Amino acid sequence: MEKNLLSIQNLSKCFPAENGNTLEALDSIDLNLQDGEFACIIGPSGSGKSTLLRILADVLEPTSGTIQYAEKKPITKAIVFQNSNLLPWYTVIQNIALPLQIQGIPKIMAIQQAQAWVEKIGLQGFENEWPQNLSGGMAQRVAIARALIQKPQLLLLDEPFGALDALTREQMSIELLGTWEQIHTTVLMVTHSISEAVLLADRVLVFGHRPGCIVNSLEIQFDRPRNPDLRDTAEFTQ
Ligand code: ADP
Ligand code: MG
Protein backbone atom coordinates (compact mmCIF):
# COMPACT_ATOMS: atom_id res chain seq x y z
CA MET A 1 0.00 0.00 0.00
CA GLU A 2 1.17 3.48 -0.75
CA LYS A 3 2.54 5.37 2.17
CA ASN A 4 2.72 9.10 2.71
CA LEU A 5 6.16 10.62 3.06
CA LEU A 6 4.86 14.03 3.97
CA SER A 7 1.72 16.05 4.05
CA ILE A 8 1.59 19.80 3.43
CA GLN A 9 -1.41 21.63 4.80
CA ASN A 10 -2.51 25.16 4.16
CA LEU A 11 1.00 26.32 3.35
CA SER A 12 1.36 30.01 2.56
CA LYS A 13 4.31 32.26 1.95
CA CYS A 14 4.22 36.03 1.72
CA PHE A 15 7.12 38.23 0.74
CA PRO A 16 7.32 41.96 1.36
CA ALA A 17 6.75 43.71 -1.96
CA GLU A 18 7.30 47.25 -3.18
CA ASN A 19 5.30 50.10 -1.64
CA GLY A 20 4.66 48.17 1.53
CA ASN A 21 2.37 45.55 -0.03
CA THR A 22 2.84 41.85 0.43
CA LEU A 23 3.24 39.36 -2.37
CA GLU A 24 1.56 36.01 -1.85
CA ALA A 25 3.98 33.53 -3.42
CA LEU A 26 2.13 30.49 -2.03
CA ASP A 27 -1.55 30.60 -1.19
CA SER A 28 -2.80 27.81 1.09
CA ILE A 29 -1.17 24.86 -0.65
CA ASP A 30 -2.30 21.35 0.31
CA LEU A 31 -0.20 18.50 -1.01
CA ASN A 32 0.70 14.95 -0.04
CA LEU A 33 3.83 13.27 -1.32
CA GLN A 34 3.80 9.49 -1.41
CA ASP A 35 6.88 7.61 -0.37
CA GLY A 36 8.81 6.73 -3.54
CA GLU A 37 6.77 8.76 -6.01
CA PHE A 38 8.19 11.00 -8.70
CA ALA A 39 6.16 14.19 -8.84
CA CYS A 40 6.76 17.07 -11.23
CA ILE A 41 5.63 20.66 -10.91
CA ILE A 42 4.99 22.75 -13.98
CA GLY A 43 3.62 26.26 -14.16
CA PRO A 44 4.40 29.79 -15.26
CA SER A 45 7.33 31.81 -14.08
CA GLY A 46 6.68 33.49 -10.76
CA SER A 47 3.94 31.05 -9.73
CA GLY A 48 5.72 29.96 -6.55
CA LYS A 49 7.34 26.69 -7.64
CA SER A 50 10.81 27.51 -6.32
CA THR A 51 9.33 28.97 -3.16
CA LEU A 52 7.63 25.65 -2.40
CA LEU A 53 10.85 23.72 -3.01
CA ARG A 54 12.90 26.09 -0.87
CA ILE A 55 10.44 25.72 2.00
CA LEU A 56 10.59 21.92 1.68
CA ALA A 57 14.39 22.12 1.65
CA ASP A 58 14.24 24.15 4.89
CA VAL A 59 16.03 27.11 3.36
CA LEU A 60 12.92 29.27 3.68
CA GLU A 61 10.32 29.53 6.46
CA PRO A 62 6.63 29.42 5.52
CA THR A 63 4.45 32.31 6.66
CA SER A 64 1.80 29.83 7.81
CA GLY A 65 0.76 26.23 7.41
CA THR A 66 2.31 22.92 8.34
CA ILE A 67 4.44 20.17 6.90
CA GLN A 68 3.91 16.86 8.64
CA TYR A 69 6.18 13.92 8.14
CA ALA A 70 4.64 10.48 8.18
CA GLU A 71 7.22 9.08 10.54
CA LYS A 72 6.82 12.09 12.83
CA LYS A 73 10.46 12.99 12.48
CA PRO A 74 12.37 15.13 10.00
CA ILE A 75 13.45 13.43 6.80
CA THR A 76 16.71 13.79 4.90
CA LYS A 77 16.56 16.05 1.87
CA ALA A 78 18.80 17.27 -0.90
CA ILE A 79 18.14 20.00 -3.44
CA VAL A 80 19.59 20.63 -6.89
CA PHE A 81 19.18 23.93 -8.71
CA GLN A 82 19.42 24.97 -12.35
CA ASN A 83 22.94 26.14 -11.73
CA SER A 84 24.99 23.21 -10.42
CA ASN A 85 26.59 25.29 -7.63
CA LEU A 86 29.68 23.08 -7.57
CA LEU A 87 32.51 24.32 -5.42
CA PRO A 88 35.03 25.65 -7.95
CA TRP A 89 38.07 24.85 -5.84
CA TYR A 90 37.03 21.20 -5.45
CA THR A 91 37.44 18.57 -8.18
CA VAL A 92 34.56 16.47 -9.48
CA ILE A 93 35.18 13.66 -7.01
CA GLN A 94 35.77 16.03 -4.11
CA ASN A 95 32.49 17.80 -4.86
CA ILE A 96 30.58 14.49 -4.84
CA ALA A 97 32.32 13.26 -1.66
CA LEU A 98 31.80 16.51 0.23
CA PRO A 99 28.37 15.81 1.79
CA LEU A 100 29.66 12.54 3.24
CA GLN A 101 32.71 14.26 4.68
CA ILE A 102 30.45 16.88 6.22
CA GLN A 103 28.55 13.99 7.84
CA GLY A 104 31.86 12.89 9.36
CA ILE A 105 32.55 9.92 7.11
CA PRO A 106 36.33 9.44 6.77
CA LYS A 107 37.76 10.90 3.56
CA ILE A 108 38.95 7.59 2.14
CA MET A 109 35.48 6.04 2.46
CA ALA A 110 33.77 9.16 1.16
CA ILE A 111 36.01 9.17 -1.92
CA GLN A 112 35.34 5.46 -2.46
CA GLN A 113 31.58 6.02 -2.50
CA ALA A 114 32.01 9.11 -4.67
CA GLN A 115 33.96 7.01 -7.17
CA ALA A 116 30.99 4.65 -7.48
CA TRP A 117 28.79 7.67 -8.25
CA VAL A 118 31.29 8.99 -10.81
CA GLU A 119 30.81 5.70 -12.62
CA LYS A 120 27.01 5.77 -12.31
CA ILE A 121 26.93 9.19 -13.97
CA GLY A 122 29.39 8.15 -16.67
CA LEU A 123 32.16 10.58 -15.75
CA GLN A 124 35.03 8.11 -15.41
CA GLY A 125 38.23 9.92 -16.35
CA PHE A 126 36.88 13.27 -15.11
CA GLU A 127 37.34 12.57 -11.38
CA ASN A 128 40.09 15.12 -10.97
CA GLU A 129 38.68 17.70 -13.33
CA TRP A 130 37.76 21.19 -12.10
CA PRO A 131 34.10 22.24 -12.38
CA GLN A 132 34.90 25.11 -14.79
CA ASN A 133 36.19 22.58 -17.33
CA LEU A 134 32.91 20.62 -17.42
CA SER A 135 30.04 21.09 -19.86
CA GLY A 136 26.70 22.18 -18.40
CA GLY A 137 25.35 18.64 -18.62
CA MET A 138 28.38 17.14 -16.89
CA ALA A 139 28.21 19.73 -14.12
CA GLN A 140 24.53 18.87 -13.51
CA ARG A 141 25.35 15.17 -13.40
CA VAL A 142 27.89 15.96 -10.68
CA ALA A 143 25.33 18.09 -8.80
CA ILE A 144 22.77 15.26 -8.93
CA ALA A 145 25.35 12.71 -7.79
CA ARG A 146 26.35 15.01 -4.94
CA ALA A 147 22.69 15.11 -3.89
CA LEU A 148 22.04 11.38 -4.27
CA ILE A 149 25.18 10.21 -2.46
CA GLN A 150 23.43 11.48 0.67
CA LYS A 151 20.62 8.97 0.04
CA PRO A 152 18.01 11.64 0.75
CA GLN A 153 14.46 10.50 1.45
CA LEU A 154 13.33 13.51 -0.57
CA LEU A 155 15.16 14.79 -3.64
CA LEU A 156 14.13 18.30 -4.69
CA LEU A 157 15.06 19.32 -8.22
CA ASP A 158 14.46 22.93 -9.29
CA GLU A 159 14.65 23.03 -13.09
CA PRO A 160 17.84 20.97 -12.98
CA PHE A 161 18.10 20.80 -16.77
CA GLY A 162 16.77 24.29 -17.43
CA ALA A 163 20.08 25.68 -18.66
CA LEU A 164 20.89 22.77 -20.99
CA ASP A 165 20.25 22.35 -24.71
CA ALA A 166 17.30 20.20 -25.81
CA LEU A 167 19.32 17.13 -26.71
CA THR A 168 21.31 17.12 -23.46
CA ARG A 169 18.08 17.69 -21.51
CA GLU A 170 16.47 14.66 -23.02
CA GLN A 171 19.51 12.50 -22.40
CA MET A 172 19.73 13.74 -18.80
CA SER A 173 16.04 13.01 -18.18
CA ILE A 174 16.44 9.44 -19.36
CA GLU A 175 19.55 9.03 -17.19
CA LEU A 176 17.73 10.49 -14.21
CA LEU A 177 14.86 8.05 -14.71
CA GLY A 178 17.35 5.17 -14.85
CA THR A 179 19.01 6.31 -11.62
CA TRP A 180 15.68 6.86 -9.89
CA GLU A 181 14.52 3.37 -10.83
CA GLN A 182 17.52 2.02 -8.95
CA ILE A 183 17.13 4.06 -5.80
CA HIS A 184 13.41 4.91 -5.68
CA THR A 185 13.73 7.95 -3.54
CA THR A 186 10.83 10.41 -3.49
CA VAL A 187 11.40 13.18 -6.05
CA LEU A 188 9.72 16.54 -6.43
CA MET A 189 10.97 18.22 -9.59
CA VAL A 190 10.16 21.58 -11.13
CA THR A 191 10.43 21.67 -14.89
CA HIS A 192 9.36 23.92 -17.75
CA SER A 193 9.09 20.98 -20.07
CA ILE A 194 5.78 19.13 -20.23
CA SER A 195 7.34 16.27 -22.17
CA GLU A 196 9.98 15.92 -19.45
CA ALA A 197 7.24 15.84 -16.83
CA VAL A 198 5.30 13.19 -18.74
CA LEU A 199 8.42 11.08 -19.21
CA LEU A 200 9.45 11.24 -15.58
CA ALA A 201 6.51 11.79 -13.31
CA ASP A 202 3.89 9.62 -11.67
CA ARG A 203 2.00 12.84 -11.03
CA VAL A 204 2.20 16.33 -12.46
CA LEU A 205 1.18 19.28 -10.31
CA VAL A 206 0.23 22.36 -12.26
CA PHE A 207 0.70 25.78 -10.73
CA GLY A 208 -1.60 28.50 -12.03
CA HIS A 209 -1.17 32.01 -13.32
CA ARG A 210 -2.49 33.36 -10.08
CA PRO A 211 0.65 32.92 -8.01
CA GLY A 212 0.86 30.34 -5.31
CA CYS A 213 -1.80 27.78 -6.04
CA ILE A 214 -1.94 24.35 -7.56
CA VAL A 215 -4.71 24.45 -10.13
CA ASN A 216 -4.54 20.91 -11.37
CA SER A 217 -3.00 17.60 -10.50
CA LEU A 218 -2.59 14.96 -13.19
CA GLU A 219 -1.97 11.34 -12.35
CA ILE A 220 0.07 9.62 -14.99
CA GLN A 221 -0.74 5.95 -15.19
CA PHE A 222 1.75 3.65 -16.78
CA ASP A 223 0.44 0.34 -18.00
CA ARG A 224 3.95 -1.05 -18.32
CA PRO A 225 7.21 -1.11 -16.42
CA ARG A 226 8.81 2.33 -16.49
CA ASN A 227 11.43 1.37 -18.98
CA PRO A 228 12.90 4.49 -20.61
CA ASP A 229 13.42 2.57 -23.84
CA LEU A 230 9.67 2.21 -24.15
CA ARG A 231 8.93 5.81 -23.34
CA ASP A 232 7.58 6.59 -26.82
CA THR A 233 4.72 4.23 -26.19
CA ALA A 234 3.85 5.84 -22.85
CA GLU A 235 0.17 6.29 -22.34
CA PHE A 236 -1.10 8.65 -19.77
CA THR A 237 -4.50 9.62 -18.59
CA GLN A 238 -5.74 12.50 -16.60
P1 ADP B 1 8.76 30.31 -9.80
O2 ADP B 1 9.84 29.43 -9.27
O3 ADP B 1 7.46 29.61 -10.03
O4 ADP B 1 9.21 31.06 -11.02
P5 ADP B 1 9.17 31.77 -7.34
O6 ADP B 1 8.78 30.81 -6.29
O7 ADP B 1 10.64 31.96 -7.57
O8 ADP B 1 8.44 31.42 -8.71
O9 ADP B 1 8.57 33.18 -7.00
C10 ADP B 1 7.20 33.38 -6.70
C11 ADP B 1 6.96 34.86 -6.45
O12 ADP B 1 7.62 35.22 -5.24
C13 ADP B 1 7.56 35.75 -7.54
O14 ADP B 1 6.69 36.85 -7.73
C15 ADP B 1 8.86 36.21 -6.96
O16 ADP B 1 9.24 37.46 -7.46
C17 ADP B 1 8.55 36.27 -5.47
N18 ADP B 1 9.73 36.01 -4.63
C19 ADP B 1 10.45 34.88 -4.60
N20 ADP B 1 11.45 34.95 -3.70
C21 ADP B 1 11.36 36.19 -3.15
C22 ADP B 1 12.11 36.90 -2.15
N23 ADP B 1 13.14 36.34 -1.52
N24 ADP B 1 11.72 38.17 -1.84
C25 ADP B 1 10.66 38.74 -2.46
N26 ADP B 1 9.91 38.14 -3.40
C27 ADP B 1 10.25 36.89 -3.75
MG1 MG C 1 11.74 28.98 -10.03
Q: 32-71, pLDDT tens digit by residue?
A: 999 999 999 999 999 999 999 999 999 999 999 999 998 8
Q: What is the pLDDT of residues 189-234, one digit of tens each?
A: 999 998 899 889 999 999 987 777 777 777 776 654 554 444 444 4
CA of 148 to the centre of ligand 2 (A): 21
The response to whether residue 25 sits with its C-beta less than 6 Å from ligand 1 reads: yes
CA distances from 159 to 91, 93, 100, 179, 223 (A): 24, 23, 25, 17, 27
Minimal CA–CA distance to 54: which of 16, 11, 102? 11
CA 51 to ligand 2 center in whole angstroms: 7
d(CA 175, CA 164): 14
Model ipTM? 0.98
Q: Hey, which of 11, 12, 22, 23 would you mutate to test ligand 1's pocket, going by the most ligand atoms within 8 Å of its Cβ?
A: 23
Cβ count near 107 (within 10 Å): 11
Q: Render pLDDT for 10-36 as a digit per residue (tens, 0 to 9).
A: 999 999 988 888 999 999 999 999 999
Distance 15 CA to ligand 1 centre (A): 8
CA of 25 to the centre of ligand 1 (A): 6
pLDDT digits (tens, 9 = 90+) for 84-129: 999 999 999 999 999 999 999 999 999 999 999 999 999 999 999 9
Percent of the chain with pLDDT over 70: 92
Ligand 1 site-directed mutation target among 45, 50, 82, 158, most atoms within 8 Å of CB:
50
User: For residues 50-84, b (16+ Cβ closer than 10 Å) or e, as one string?
Assistant: bbbbbbbbeebebeebebeeeeeeebebbbbbbeb
DSSP3 helix / strand / coil % (the chain, rounded to 5): 35, 25, 40
Residue 27 to residue 13: CA distance in whole angstroms: 7
